Amino acid sequence: MTGKKRILTGDRPTGALHLGHYVGSLVNRVKLQEEYDSYILIADVQALTTHWEQGEDLENSVYQITSDYLAAGLDPNQATICIQSKITEIHELAAYFSMYTPVNVLRHNPTIKAEAQQHGFKDLMYGFLGYPVSQAADIAIFKAHVVPVGEDQVPHLELARRIVRRFNDLYKPVLVEPEVLVGQVSRLVGLDGKAKMSKSLNNAIFLSDKPEDVWQKVRNAVTDPARIHKTDPGHPEVCTIFEYHKVFNNSELESIEQECRQGKIGCVACKKRQAQVINQLLEPMHERREQYKSRDILTDILREGTRRAQEVARSTMEEVREAMKIQYFK
Ligand code: TRP
């Protein structure tokens, strides 16, 4: 086809995307979409590993994430947005991978452990414990060279590399060992200043938040607790808003730091500036979101993307079956 290297990434459709997703990996995907042949997988089956009872919401979430992608700047003419459950070869490949992936490796996966704890899972479901294997199949079926993701995905990428290497050794070297690309800001702090930004922790600024929502959220964000009056010297190193200035407002960083330490800029003014900067970032996203408002347009994009992805998946699976000698009636 194009001779470009290929990217594959994905997200579970479990809710609106926020600034943490944006700086963690979305911005990389947008930047790289021209240079690479890019595939973005909406991992609806993987979403069921934690939300298995929410069939109806799943469809809305798929549309929601699609409009977030397009708003963030993914161009459907460059990047292929596709739906995991519709690419049935992925599940076939995952089954083959699962034959030689030890359960203990999955049990010790730090992201699996953290997520199990977060969701209060004790007796782990088979699908949940095994989703990194299916994720390896997501990546391998596209023969992706690069996978731009957030830091929490690194253990899954290590496993994917291992599974691919083993496949190539066992059968025939037809699969590509993927490289991981972690965003510059691998972990964006939440508005509460405690944990990373996350929808379930209710500390997130969403890409779809309007200027007034952004201001209300930033206004209530946790800052330096030792600073009560504007003239008190501030401690930017403990301030959530300063963390955001670091990420979103580099050009004013030094002056804000100095003014804060000298008690010259108050928290309200500093937050106002921060809200402005975030709203500037989000404004073009709101405009793009308007262009893709119609559900029919989104359906067309998903249908076409999924069709393109199915072609790639079919062709890889031909090679996989041939390598494994699981080919009948030829
Ligand atoms: N596990 C990823 C997440 O929770 C989503 C995902 C599914 C993914 N398949 C993928 C990421 C393949 C990268 C590549 O965000």
Residue 1 is predicted with a pLDDT of 54
Give a yes or no: residue 204 inside a domain.
Answer: no
Instruction: Please compute Rg for the chain using Cα positions.
Output: 22
Q: Are residue 217 and residue 276 in the same domain, yes or no? A: yes
Give a yes or no: residue 194 inside a domain.
Answer: no
Give the domain extent around 17. Answer: 6-188+294-324
**Ligand 1, atom 15, residue with closest C-alpha:** 11
Residue 259 is predicted with a pLDDT of 95
Q: Are residue 126 and residue 240 in the same domain, yes or no? A: no
Q: Are residue 233 and residue 131 in the same domain, yes or no? A: no
Give a yes or no: residue 203 inside a domain.
Answer: no
Q: Are residue 143 and residue 277 in the same domain, yes or no? A: no
Contact 49 CB / ligand 1 (< 6 Å): no
Distance between CA atoms of residues 297 and 71, nearest Å: 13
Q: Are residue 228 and residue 307 in the same domain, yes or no? A: no
Angle subtended at Cα 152 by Cα 150 and Cα 153, rounded to the nearest 5 degrees: 75
Q: Are residue 140 and residue 254 in the same domain, yes or no? A: no
**Ligand 1, atom 5, residue with closest C-alpha:** 11
Angle subtended at Cα 25 by Cα 22 and Cα 26, rounded to the nearest 5 degrees: 50
Residue 227 is predicted with a pLDDT of 87
**CB-CB contact of 43 with 12 (8 Å):** yes
Separation of CA 81 and ligand 1 centre (Å): 13
The token pair that represents 101 in the structure block: 């992936």
> In the 3-class helix/strand/coil scheme, how is 50-114 assigned residue by residue?
HHCCCHHHHHHHHHHHHHHHHHHCCCCCCEEEEEHHHCCHHHHHHHHHHCCCCHHHHHCCHHHHH
Give a yes or no: residue 205 inside a domain.
Answer: no
Separation of CA 115 and ligand 1 centre (Å): 13
Q: Are residue 158 and residue 302 in the same domain, yes or no? A: yes
Whether the predicted model's global pTM rises above the 0.85 cut: yes
Give a yes or no: residue 196 inside a domain.
Answer: no
Give a yes or no: residue 193 inside a domain.
Answer: no
H helix or E strand, kind and range, residue 323: helix 295-324
Angle subtended at Cα 249 by Cα 196 and Cα 35, rounded to the nearest 5 degrees: 80
Q: Which residue has the tokens 């709101």?
A: 286
Residue 56 is predicted with a pLDDT of 74
Q: Are residue 242 and residue 154 in the same domain, yes or no? A: no
Q: Are residue 71 and residue 94 in the same domain, yes or no? A: yes
Q: Are residue 155 and residue 300 in the same domain, yes or no? A: yes
- How many domains does the chain divide into? 2
- Inter-CA distances, 194 with 64, 201, 228, Å: 27, 10, 20
**CB-CB contact of 151 with 210 (8 Å):** no
Q: What is the pLDDT along the chain (330 residues), one digit of tens a residue?
A: 568 999 999 999 999 999 999 998 899 999 999 999 999 999 999 999 998 887 778 999 999 999 999 999 999 999 999 999 999 999 999 999 999 999 999 999 999 999 999 899 999 999 999 999 999 999 999 999 999 988 889 999 999 999 999 999 999 999 999 999 987 776 899 999 988 898 888 999 999 999 999 999 999 998 988 888 888 999 999 999 999 999 999 999 999 999 999 999 999 999 999 999 999 999 999 999 999 999 999 999 999 999 999 999 999 999 999 999 998 887
Separation of CA 264 and ligand 1 centre (Å): 44
Separation of CA 12 and ligand 1 centre (Å): 7
Query: Which SS3 state, helix, strand or coil, does residue 145 take?
Result: coil
Give a yes or no: residue 199 inside a domain.
Answer: no
**Ligand 1, atom 2, residue with closest C-alpha:** 11
Using most ligand atoms within 8 A of CB, pick from 6, 7, 8, 11 the residue to mutate for ligand 1: 11
Residue 207 is predicted with a pLDDT of 98
Contact 217 CB / ligand 1 (< 6 Å): no
Q: Are residue 262 and residue 153 in the same domain, yes or no? A: no
The CATH number that applies at residue 280 is 1.10.240.10
Give a yes or no: residue 201 inside a domain.
Answer: no
Q: Are residue 49 and residue 154 in the same domain, yes or no? A: yes
> Could you tell me whether strands 179-182 and 37-42 are parallel, antiparallel, or unpaired per DSSP bridges?
unpaired
Contact 153 CB / ligand 1 (< 6 Å): yes
Distance between CA atoms of residues 120 and 241, nearest Å: 31
Question: Edge-to-edge strands of the sheet including 179-182?
Answer: 79-83, 37-42, 6-11, 146-149, 179-182
Ligand 1 atom showing the smallest separation from residue 156 Cα: 1
The CATH number that applies at residue 99 is 3.40.50.620
Residue 2 is predicted with a pLDDT of 64
- Produce one character per residue of 147-185: b if its CB has 16 or more CB atoms within 10 Å, e if not: bbbbbbbbbbbebbbebbeebbeebeebbbbbebbbbeb
